[in-house]
Structure 1
Amino acid sequence: MSLDGKVAIVTGSGRGLGLAYAQELARQGASVVVNDVDAQTAADAVASIQALGGRAASVVAPVGPTETAKQLVATAVETFGRLDILVTNAGVLRDTVLWKMSDEDFDTVINVHLRGTFTTVREAVLQMRAAGEGGRVICIGSPTGQRGNFGQTNYAAAKAGIVGMTRTWALELKRAGITANTVVPVAATAMTATVPYFAAAVQAETNGEPMPAFFRHDLGFGTADDVAGLIAFLGSDAAAGVTGQVIGVGGDRLQIWTHPEAALTAYREGGWTYDALVDAWPAEFAGTMQSVGERFPELPEEFKPAAS
């Protein structure tokens, strides 16, 4: 098994995508520390991994505080003897438009996604560097962090911040043999289940049927298991040369996202004054302005929700 002898932590792994990641890591031979805020959910996740013949332990605690990060790492080391892989998946949503978003809405999402990723990675890296055997840090991003999304100021900020941290960590951890990457999953989740555009795909999964090719191929939208293979790969020795990357995966599609680069570079002797920009913008710059938000093709007729 490709991860035989490895030990992984997966935050937010009681259900959904996180559980799929934990189960796949276990299938490939890793011992796994699962995490959830609900004790029964965590216990069920451990039982599901043990039913696969894997080894698992749990930490029931909210991600964000340093104390939780320390507990996760201590559990990995005390239970399984080491730590090789960290997957930072835990997250919450508090969606609303900017002018209705409260301080609590903003702080809750930032604390779990962004601060939780920071505190957990910091603690894991302390252990990995002390052990001197390298390691794998796999952070979970989102298309929203790459392109923005209506009603998700807090979530977009957190996911974009995670990408920025990952690129920095790839530089800082290189000498220690620790890789750091961000995975951008596109899959049927509790969140996408409420979006009418994805209704046919979600219904197919609920019915235990294959998702239509339009969703799997054209949209790169699939199941949690479609993402889990990439997580296991990035945790393996086969991915030792992969670091600082943002990799999208869903359905039949895998994408390596570009790092931000200038779309246009122009020079003007003396600098760009107000008057110069007014004159030059329409002809020189307007055509290279970048789009925002996700853009989806029109749904084929057979997948359109019935009119109410």
Structure 2
Amino acid sequence: MNILKGSHQMQLNGKVAIVTGSGQGLGRTYALALAAAGAKVVVNDVDEAQAKQVAEEIADAGGSAVAEPVAVGTSEAAQQLVARAVDEFGRLDVMVTNAGILRDKVLWNMSDEDFDAVIHVHLRGTFTCAREAMKHFREAGEGGRLVLAGSPAGQRGNFGQTNYAAAKAGIAAMARTWAMECAKAGVTVNAIVPNAATVMTETIPFLAPYVEAMKAGEPIPSVVRRAASFGPPEDVAGLVVFLASEASGHITGQCIGIGGDRISLWSHPTEIRSAFLDGGWSADAIAEAFDSSIGESLETYGIPLPKIPTTQREGA
């Protein structure tokens, strides 16, 4: 098990956490880090063997975990996860909704099935798991933590990811909404916006060389860790531990980015410039004034590629 830098300072002894999609990748790292900080963990994955393997890793390192293999998305799956946590460990304190899949295609090639599958796992899965956890938190009356997995794609859009970006944008919106709804019960709700070397990022051409280098045991260059906010999954897990801890009790409704050497706070969508016209705006009036008023400097879209020096790219 990887004991992350600083995680020993975030004591989660006596806490119980569920991490969906934690049989591999980022979810596995979150489960290991929460257990290293003292939490008992329900390891969930659609792949039973992978879920059991992570639970065994935690147990071998002296932690406490059980595997609960089920496909996230339905209300029944969410009920099964929360029931397992309560039956096995007597309580639930943290729900980390991490499970996800990809079905990347451009708009005109994306099928209904491609769209629905991603929305079902990411968006509906987050909703059903958070709802079931919140029911338990309200009944127990001891507060709780909802930690939702967002993505840079959900903040800015990304080519070929209509379904994924839409789901992740929805998750950010749900975090802000639930922060209001859950506050009275002492439950915080935050979305993390991670960026790390995983199965999901190794298909991105810009990042692929660094993922391959990392697999070969080579470190990711510092300039990439900073400019691209990119590193191994272990760089991300500390944020999950922090948001699960008592130290984050005053933080809710936020989208927090992390990866490599960078941690960042994403802004909420906001009006950035306005124009006024007595009597209201006709189409002709908008056309006449748009470029010299609110449209003078249009917003960018898509995930920007950082400028990495050529020597760093070649040395990766």
TM over 0.5: yes
- Residue among 240, 245, 270 paired with 2:249: 240
- TM-score normalised per structure 1: 0.97
- Residue among 79, 83, 88 paired with 1:74: 83
CA distance in 2, matches of 1:196, 1:223: 17
CA distance in 2, matches of 1:300, 1:248: 23
Instruction: Please state how far the C-alpha of 1:299 moved relative to its aligned partner.
Output: 3.4
Aligned-partner SS, 2:301: coil
Moved more, 290-299 or 91-100: 290-299
Match of 1:58 in 2: 67
Match of 2:5 in 1: none
Q: Which amino acid in the other structure matches residue 28 of structure 2?
A: L
Match of 2:24 in 1: 15
Question: Which digits, 9 at most, give the CA deviation of each residue in 1:95-152, with x for residues without a partner?
Answer: 0011111110000000000000000000001011100000000000000000001111
Moved more, 207-216 or 144-153: 207-216
Contact 2:274 2:293 in 1 (8 A): no
Aligned-partner SS, 1:285: coil
Match of 2:212 in 1: 203
Question: Which digits, 9 at most, give the CA deviation of each residue in 1:214-265, with x for residues without a partner?
Answer: 2111111111111100000000000000000000000110010111110101
| Residues 4-153 of structure 1 aligned to structure 2 (within 5 Å) | 4-153=13-162
Instruction: Please state how far the C-alpha of 1:204 moved relative to its aligned partner.
Output: 3.0
- Residue among 190, 201, 220 paired with 1:181: 190
Instruction: Please state how far the C-alpha of 1:192 moved relative to its aligned partner.
Output: 1.4
Instruction: Please state how far the C-alpha of 1:191 moved relative to its aligned partner.
Output: 1.9
CA distance in 2, matches of 1:6, 1:51: 19
CA distance in 2, matches of 1:136, 1:222: 26
Aligned-partner SS, 2:68: strand
Instruction: Please state how far the C-alpha of 1:88 moved relative to its aligned partner.
Output: 0.1
Instruction: Please state how far the C-alpha of 1:203 moved relative to its aligned partner.
Output: 2.5
Aligned-partner SS, 2:142: coil
Match of 1:154 in 2: 163
CA distance in 2, matches of 1:186, 1:135: 25
Match of 2:3 in 1: none
Aligned-partner SS, 1:67: helix
CA distance in 2, matches of 1:197, 1:303: 13
- Residue among 212, 228, 252 paired with 1:219: 228
Moved more, 140-149 or 206-215: 206-215
- Residue among 269, 273, 286 paired with 2:295: 286
CA distance in 2, matches of 1:191, 1:60: 21
* Aligned residues: CA RMSD: 1.3
Instruction: Please state how far the C-alpha of 1:303 moved relative to its aligned partner.
Output: 4.4
Q: Which amino acid in the other structure matches residue 291 of structure 1?
A: T
Instruction: Please state how far the C-alpha of 1:284 moved relative to its aligned partner.
Output: 1.1
Instruction: Please state how far the C-alpha of 1:304 moved relative to its aligned partner.
Output: 4.0
Contact 1:197 1:299 in 2 (8 A): no
Match of 2:4 in 1: none
Contact 2:44 2:68 in 1 (8 A): yes
Identity within the alignment, %: 54
Contact 2:21 2:100 in 1 (8 A): yes
Q: Which amino acid in the other structure matches residue 266 of structure 2?
A: W
Structure 1: give runs of 5+ residues left out of the alignment.
none
Q: Which amino acid in the other structure matches residue 24 of structure 1?
A: A
Contact 2:221 2:312 in 1 (8 A): no
Q: What is the total number of aligned residue pairs between the two structures?
A: 306
- TM-score normalised per structure 2: 0.94
Contact 1:3 1:236 in 2 (8 A): yes
CA distance in 2, matches of 1:208, 1:53: 27
CA distance in 2, matches of 1:297, 1:31: 39
Question: Which digits, 9 at most, give the CA deviation of each residue in 1:152-207, with x for residues without a partner?
Answer: 11001100001111111100010100000000001001121122211332123212
Structure 2: give runs of 5+ residues left out of the alignment.
1-7
Q: Which amino acid in the other structure matches residue 290 of structure 1?
A: E
Moved more, 179-188 or 197-206: 197-206
